Amino acid sequence: MLIAATLAIFVAMILAIIRGIAGPTLYDRILAVNMFGTKTVLLISLLGFIMGRPEFLDIAIVYALINFISVIGVLRYSDTNQFKHTPTNNESAEKEP
């Protein structure tokens, strides 16, 4: 059962990577990184249980914190000009009903 859960987390990580590569806007990619981080926390906990070494939980706590700090850091610097989202052609085409 643990191995099945690990495989499911793997699948979710692969899906997050696909969105990270193909996301049209920047925020999709930030979301993909955040989801990847929480999945990594779960993966580390599961691997620790499978391999019988529960010291991995320290790493899980560190990952959760680092994931949080790095997403907050990315968003904190989003007040600069380069993050301003300009409407692409698709969205401006939707403005006319």
Partner 1 sequence: MINIVLLTLLVVVAIAIIRMKDLFAVVMLAGIYGLMSASFFVAMDAVDVAFTEAAVGAGISTLLMLVVITMTGSKEKPTRHKPLPALLAVMLTGGLLIYGTLDMPYFGSVDAPIHNHTSPRYINDSMQEVGIPNVVTSVLASYRAFDTFGEVVVIFTAGIGVLTLLSVVRSKDNDDEIESINDSMHQQHLVIRIVAKMLIPFIFLFALYVQFHGDFGPGGGFQAGVIFASAIILYAMLFGLRTAHKVINQTFVQLIAALGVLLYGSVGIVSLMNGGNFLDYNVLSSNPITGQHLGILLIQWLVQDLFES
Partner 2 sequence: MDITITISSGFFLLIGSFLCVSGGIGLLRFPDFYTRMHAVGVTDTLGAGMILIGLMILSTDFLVFAKLVMVLLLTLLIGPTTSHVLAKAAFHNGLMPKGLNTLEQNNNKETNSSNP
Whole-angstrom CA distances from 38 to 64, 65, 68 are 7, 10, 9
Query: How far is the C-alpha of 65 from the C-alpha of 89, rounded, in Å?
Result: 38
Which listed option, partner 2, partner 1, none, makes contact with residue 9 (CB within 5 to 8 Å by class)? Answer: partner 2
Binding site for partner 1 (CB under 8 A): 10, 13-14, 16-17, 20-21, 23, 26, 29-30, 32-33, 36-37, 40, 43-44, 47-48, 51, 53, 55-56, 58-59, 61-63, 65-70, 72-74, 76-77, 80, 82
Query: How far is the C-alpha of 73 from the C-alpha of 80, rounded, in Å?
Result: 13
Q: How far is the CB of 64 from partner 1 (least distance, A)?
A: 10
